[in-house]
């Protein structure tokens, strides 16, 4: 194998996949590895390390491991993939990190390469994978798929749902057990005016699974924004944010969805630059939405992606910055 000089100045063998494609780790800025000072402050915040106690299942360990694979000092073995795939991508480690390591870029680099040269993780069945990418990201499909469960819940026949679940495979039975009580859907209009003096103009992302399982959260978000003086624009052409695909290493598919959202919001808002924020209320979606600039880097929509990512805010983050509306009635409070 050929050798390259890495940032460590050591001539290490380049880890080239057998498919003749790009070298492993070629899609990452090597400086991201070097930003980690291995202080270990991330360990206590990592749920997988807390459970297993294995250094390889910690953020620090995964950075070491992926760097070694990138350098060619270690192979992308089944064991190595197991440790790297075990990451939940909750990004709690980024909050704890004093050096500001962009761990999400590092782990996504692995996911992208792993998806390219290795088959899907054996823990994901073909049926689950089909549901994840062909059902969950589409709000209308999810609504129809959940219709039987919704009807049984409305009729108070939850016991029949549980009885029928016993006939399902274990993985699907587990999924059924965590389905919440489904509420009525709300087809929100594309424009909701501010209640009272207008203080801001925002776009609202409805999400895919979020809108199917928790439609009341989207309704509540829109109402709170209105009562806080916000004009709310909800593009009907918006789609899944792409988080499911991004977390699975399917960057091409994620970029397609991100591009569609950028164009949908840009058209509905007149211009992405003409809004104060793009609001989301799903924690799993937020980090990916804020990273649209990187996801669409080099794309025809790269500029829109960058603006979209900078405008993206969690509902609570935005309200904290906006500040509360001044009360118009006496507040009977005691210090």
What superfamily in CATH does domain 3-117 come from? Alpha-helical ferredoxin (1.10.1060.10)
pLDDT at residue 7 greater than cutoff 70: no
Contact 211, 218 (CB under 8 A): yes
Q: What is the pLDDT of residue 13?
A: 41
Would the pTM of this model clear 0.75, i.e. be above it? no
Q: Who has greater pLDDT, 131 or 57?
A: 57
Q: What is the pLDDT of residue 144?
A: 80
Q: What is the pLDDT of residue 9?
A: 40
Helix (H, G, I), strand (E, B) or coil at 203: strand
pLDDT band at 11 (very low <50, low <70, confident <90, very high): very low
Bridge partners (DSSP) of residue 201 are 231
Other C-beta atoms closer than 10 Å to the C-beta of 20 total 6
Contact 74, 62 (CB under 8 A): no
What's the chain's length in residues? 335
Q: What is the pLDDT of residue 27?
A: 76
Domain locations along the chain: 3-117, 126-177, 191-322
Fold of 191-322: Glutathione S-transferase Yfyf (Class Pi); Chain A, domain 2 (1.20.1050)
Contact 288, 243 (CB under 8 A): yes
Q: What is the pLDDT of residue 211?
A: 80
pLDDT band at 125 (very low <50, low <70, confident <90, very high): low
Contact 92, 45 (CB under 8 A): yes
pLDDT at residue 59 greater than cutoff 90: yes
Average pLDDT taken over every residue of the chain:
82
The mean pLDDT value for 44-69 works out to 92
Span of 101-110, 141-150, 262-271 with lowest mean pLDDT: 141-150
Q: Who has greater pLDDT, 154 or 196?
A: 196
Q: Who has greater pLDDT, 75 or 40?
A: 40
The mean pLDDT value for 99-124 works out to 75
For 21, 80, 222, the CA distances from 310, given in Å and listed in that order, are 33, 34, 21
The pLDDT tens digits for 236-279 are 999 999 988 887 778 888 999 999 999 999 999 999 999 999 99
Q: What is the pLDDT of residue 10?
A: 38
Q: Rank 14-23, 161-170, 179-188 by mean pLDDT and report only the highest.
A: 179-188
Q: Who has greater pLDDT, 289 or 244?
A: 289
pLDDT band at 8 (very low <50, low <70, confident <90, very high): very low
Same topology, domains 3-117 and 191-322? Answer is no
Measured in degrees and rounded to the nearest 5, phi and psi for residue 231 equal -75, 130
pLDDT-above-90 percentage for the chain:
41
Q: What is the pLDDT of residue 16?
A: 53
Contact 190, 233 (CB under 8 A): yes
pLDDT band at 191 (very low <50, low <70, confident <90, very high): very high
The mean pLDDT value for 227-239 works out to 94
């Amino acid at each position: 194998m050929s050798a390259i000089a890495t940032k460590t100045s050591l001539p290490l063998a380049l880890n080239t996949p057998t498919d003749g494609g790009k070298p492993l780790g070629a899609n990452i800025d090597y400086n991201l590895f070097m930003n980690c000072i291995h202080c270990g402050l991330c360990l206590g915040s990592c749920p997988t390390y807390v459970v297993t106690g294995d250094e390889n299942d910690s953020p620090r360990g995964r950075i070491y491991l992926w760097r070694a694979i990138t350098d060619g000092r270690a192979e992308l073995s089944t064991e190595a993939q197991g440790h790297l795939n075990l990451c939940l991508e909750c990004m709690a480690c980024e909050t704890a990190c004093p050096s500001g390591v962009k761990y999400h870029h590092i782990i996504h680099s692995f996911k992208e390469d792993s998806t390219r040269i290795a088959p899907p993780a054996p823990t994901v069945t073909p049926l689950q994978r089909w549901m994840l990418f062909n059902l969950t990201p589409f709000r209308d499909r999810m609504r129809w798929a959940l219709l039987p469960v919704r009807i049984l819940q409305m009729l108070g026949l939850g016991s029949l749902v549980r009885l029928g679940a016993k006939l399902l495979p274990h993985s699907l039975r587990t999924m059924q057990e965590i389905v919440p009580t489904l509420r009525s859907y709300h087809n929100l209009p594309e424009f909701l005016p501010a209640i009272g003096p207008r203080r801001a103009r925002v776009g609202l992302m409805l999400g895919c699974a979020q809108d199917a399982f928790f439609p009341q959260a989207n309704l509540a978000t829109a109402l709170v924004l209105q009562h806080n003086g916000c004009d709310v624009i909800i593009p009907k052409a918006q789609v899944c944010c792409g988080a499911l695909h991004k977390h699975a290493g399917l960057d091409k598919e994620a970029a397609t969805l991100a591009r569609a959202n950028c164009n949908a919001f840009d058209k509905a808002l007149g211009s992405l630059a003409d809004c104060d924020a793009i609001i989301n209320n799903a924690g799993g979606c937020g980090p990916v939405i804020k990273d649209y600039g990187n996801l669409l880097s080099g794309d025809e929509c790269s500029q829109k992606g960058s603006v979209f990512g900078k405008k993206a805010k969690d509902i609570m983050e935005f309200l904290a910055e906006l500040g509360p509306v001044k009360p118009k009635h006496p507040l009977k409070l005691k210090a």
